[in-house]
Amino acid sequence: GDKVKQSPSALSLQEGTNSALRCNFSIAATTVQWFLQNPRGSLINLFYLVPGTKENGRLKSTFNSKESYSTLHIRDAQLEDSGTYFCAAEDGNMGYKLTFGTGTSLLVDP
């Protein structure tokens, strides 16, 4: 099965609303990264997390290693937040290696 399960797979939000994306891990995740893939395919680094929480503007992310999940909260969604969000976990048992989730396709409507 999927080592990193990401949900939802697709999401449509109205501008100004809030939402949360989630990743559940079946590997021994030691660190987590969240990326936004823009329409041209580039991966933009959003967060790098050891267990704990980080916040950057309208985005906030938490990594709970004991319960094997991570969340990405989007507050006051804007049109430019549209794109595909990926989480990726470093597997502590495999040395340096990122295992990606299946992505969440987000569309923010005016």
Binding stretches for another protein (CB under 8 A): 31, 33, 35, 40-43, 45, 48, 86, 88, 90, 95-103
Which residues are bridge partners to 10 per DSSP? Answer: 105
Which residues are bridge partners to 70 per DSSP? Answer: 23, 63
Nearest CB to another protein, comparing residues 6 and 108: 6
CB neighbours (10 Å) of residue 69? 17
Nearest CB to another protein, comparing residues 3 and 75: 3
Nearest CB to another protein, comparing residues 19 and 102: 102
